[in-house]
Amino acid sequence: MTDKCPAPSHASLVWFRRDLRCFDHAALYAALKQSQTVFCVFIFDKTILDHLPEHDRRVQFIHQSIVELAHELEKLGGSLIVRYGHAEQEIPRLAAQLQVDTVFVNHDYEPQAVLRDDAIRHHLGQLNCHFLSFKDQVIFEKDEVLTLSNTPFSIFTPYKNAWLKKFLAEGSDFYATPYPIERYAKHLSAHTDRQIPDVQQMGFTTSEHSALPLQGGMSAGNELFKDFLSRIHHYEVARNFPAIKGPSYLSVHLRFGTVSIRHLVREAINCTRTSASMQGAQIWLSELIWRDFYFMILHHHPRVVGHSFKPDYDAIQWESGTSAETSFAAWCQGRTGYPLVDAAMLQLNQTGYMHNRLRMVTACFLIKDLGIDWRWGERYFALHLNDFDLSANNGGWQWAASTGCDAQPYFRIFNPVTQSEKFDPDGKFIRRYLPQLSRLDNKQIHAPWKLSSTILKQAEISLGHNYPAPIVDHDTARKRTLERYAVVKKPSKKMAP
């Protein structure tokens, strides 16, 4: 639901968070429409940044996005105030300095963000300043798509069907209608403080362009989307092969809101009506709906942060001790001896990006080949993924671990060699990140430990030296996994609260 201002606002403040754009922006639109004067702010929040490594690429992406946002707001007649500090302190302080009577934001659904917003709402209330929040980063949220019995969905397909039914019943322009910012831009107010702290001032290093696969900002997001639309008709097939240009590469832009979900869904719906693009667009639209689904799950079941969606699965005994820590380190560093898994982890470590197919492969390998708690992998991805989003990351890991809603069955265990042969048949992706295997042919490269010593010598590969031997036997690991999951063969029907 959209909040309404109790009365027309004399002066207001729009706080940008995961919505770094000045077009089709719910909170900005509401503030401009209801206020005589609108200031804009972004906080580099130390509460978040202090826990990140100094080389975190996301800070650079955000900085690039903020620089462009500030420039575009100036073109509209306003400006962007940028602060480096703790949001719980900076927002009330700035509201008092500017003498605003309302702070406008877009919803953030993560548990810690909800607590932060509640605290800021309380502080602002003591200043007689309202705090209004709006839906912006999803099409449907919270209780907007429910079962016929008025309860949250826990299975994706019926949720998707209900989502589409509701969306299409009102026409494709109703729920995806853009907010016309420029119509009310005259209410934007410029502020004298236009300084933006640089990345180094905040204690972070900058990455070379080649190490950052995506550039921040609205224009970069728009260019990526235009490029994707030109090849969306291939998406149904191309999305599964990490060596080719198949994905949209928009996930980090969705995460930080440099693109509008309404615009993406509108275009996806339009493409589903074109025969040449229909199948690819339908698959991509489903993935956007998955995103709404996981936000809904997080809202109704916040316990998924740290616990299984299916409580019975918390009884699983994972590997522990030194051996587990050693195996986990090998997985993190791309030293498992399984080329596709290793190449995927090296891609993540070097770029902050990982192809979606490979996220499933690496997660399933960690959980069901190495027997390691899915939460370890979830935390590692959270630290390294440019596009880390709590709801989607948690949902993906719980899917792989079979602990989540609508997850893969516990007995479905990816074979990393079969996955490699199927989705990187020519070994092109593997060679990109494991050049020491480049002399192997397209059949040999997927399982080098199966090769004769003669072939390995000819390819200049020494297992255990310039490439590791497998740290686990897949067939043996599969049997151990089935034994590990025996505690949930007959799970109870109770749901997580």
pLDDT tens, residue by residue, 444-460: 999 999 999 999 999 99
Cα separation, 196 vs 82, in Å, equals 6
Tell me the mean pLDDT in the region 415-439: 98
Query: Of the residues 300, 322, 341, which one is the last residue of a structural domain?
Result: 300
The whole-number pLDDT of residue 206 equals 83
Work out the burial of residue 165: count CB atoms within 10 Å of its CB; fewer than 13 is exposed, 13-18 middle, 19 or more buried. Answer: exposed
Residue positions counted in the chain: 497
In contact, 289 and 145? CB cutoff 8 Å: no
Tell me the mean pLDDT in the region 227-254: 96
Residues 284, 319: one domain?
A: no
Under DSSP, the state recorded for 138 is: -
What are the residue ranges of helices labelled H in 126-248? 156-169, 218-229, 235-238
Tell me the mean pLDDT in the region 178-188: 97
What are the residue ranges of helices labelled H in 301-320? none
Residues 84, 16: one domain?
A: yes
In contact, 470 and 415? CB cutoff 8 Å: no
- At residue 163 the predicted structure's pLDDT band, cuts being 50, 70 and 90, is very high
Cα separation, 272 vs 127, in Å, equals 50
SS3 of residue 427 by DSSP: coil
The tokens for 457 are 């010598």
Which structural domain, as residue segments, surrounds residue 157?
Answer: 137-175+218-300
In contact, 218 and 24? CB cutoff 8 Å: no
In contact, 100 and 39? CB cutoff 8 Å: yes
SS3 of residue 194 by DSSP: coil
Residues 367-424 have pLDDT tens digits of: 999 999 999 999 999 999 999 999 999 999 999 999 999 888 999 999 999 999 999 9
Res 171 pLDDT > 80: no
Q: Is residue 184 part of a domain?
A: no
In contact, 292 and 163? CB cutoff 8 Å: yes
Residues 248, 351: one domain?
A: no
The two counts, helices (H) then strands (E), for the chain are 20, 5
Tell me the mean pLDDT in the region 169-173: 78
Cα separation, 462 vs 105, in Å, equals 57
Residues 375-385 have pLDDT tens digits of: 999 999 999 99
The whole-number pLDDT of residue 375 equals 98
In contact, 461 and 467? CB cutoff 8 Å: yes
Residues with catalytic roles: 287, 290, 318, 356, 374, 397
Q: Is residue 13 part of a domain?
A: yes
Please count the other Cβ atoms lying within 10 Å of the Cβ belonging to residue 131. Answer: 22
Cα separation, 299 vs 142, in Å, equals 6
SS3 of residue 36 by DSSP: strand
Q: Is residue 453 part of a domain?
A: yes
Q: What is the dihedral of CA 4, 8, 12, 15, to 10 degrees?
A: 10
SS3 of residue 293 by DSSP: helix
At 47, give phi and psi (nearest 5°): -60, -35
Q: Is residue 47 part of a domain?
A: yes
The whole-number pLDDT of residue 363 equals 98
The tokens for 476 are 């043996």
Residues 419, 320: one domain?
A: yes
Res 7 pLDDT > 80: no
The pTM for the full model equals: 0.94
Tell me which of 343 and 205 has the higher pLDDT: 343
Q: 11 has which bridge partners?
A: 37
What are the residue ranges of helices labelled H in 154-275? 156-169, 218-229, 235-238, 251-256, 261-272
In contact, 264 and 225? CB cutoff 8 Å: yes
Mean pLDDT of the chain: 94
**CATH number of the domain that 72 lies in?**
3.40.50.620
Residues 256, 326: one domain?
A: no
Residues 377, 465: one domain?
A: yes
The whole-number pLDDT of residue 5 equals 55
What are the residue ranges of helices labelled H in 301-415? 321-333, 339-351, 356-364, 374-384, 390-401
Residues 242, 157: one domain?
A: yes
Q: Is residue 263 part of a domain?
A: yes
Least confident residue range of 182-196, 198-212, 249-263, 290-304: 198-212
Least confident residue range of 66-80, 99-113, 479-493: 479-493
Residues 339, 473: one domain?
A: yes
Residues 46, 160: one domain?
A: no
Q: What are the C-alpha distances in Å from 72 to residues 65, 183, 420, 490?
A: 11, 15, 45, 57
Total structural domains in the chain? 3
Res 492 pLDDT > 60: no
Q: Which long-range contacts (CB under 8 A, 24 or more apart) does 456-465 make?
A: 460/436, 461/436, 461/437, 463/337
Cα separation, 285 vs 268, in Å, equals 6
Please count the other Cβ atoms lying within 10 Å of the Cβ belonging to residue 52. Answer: 15
Query: Of the residues 281, 300, 319, which one is the last residue of a structural domain?
Result: 300
- At residue 318 the predicted structure's pLDDT band, cuts being 50, 70 and 90, is very high
Res 347 pLDDT > 80: yes
Cα separation, 243 vs 254, in Å, equals 23
The whole-number pLDDT of residue 493 equals 45
Query: Of the residues 83, 104, 134, which one is the last residue of a structural domain?
Result: 134
Segment holding 81, helix H or strand E: strand 81-85
In contact, 91 and 122? CB cutoff 8 Å: no
The tokens for 111 are 């548990």
The whole-number pLDDT of residue 275 equals 86
Residues 269, 377: one domain?
A: no
Residues 84, 228: one domain?
A: no
Segment holding 66, helix H or strand E: helix 57-75
Cα separation, 60 vs 411, in Å, equals 41
Residues with Cβ within 8 Å of 432's Cβ and at least 6 positions away in sequence, in order, are 243, 343
Residues 116, 130: one domain?
A: yes
Residue type, 215: Q
Tell me the mean pLDDT in the region 173-178: 91
Q: Is residue 241 part of a domain?
A: yes
Residues with Cβ within 8 Å of 390's Cβ and at least 6 positions away in sequence, in order, are 110, 298, 305, 382
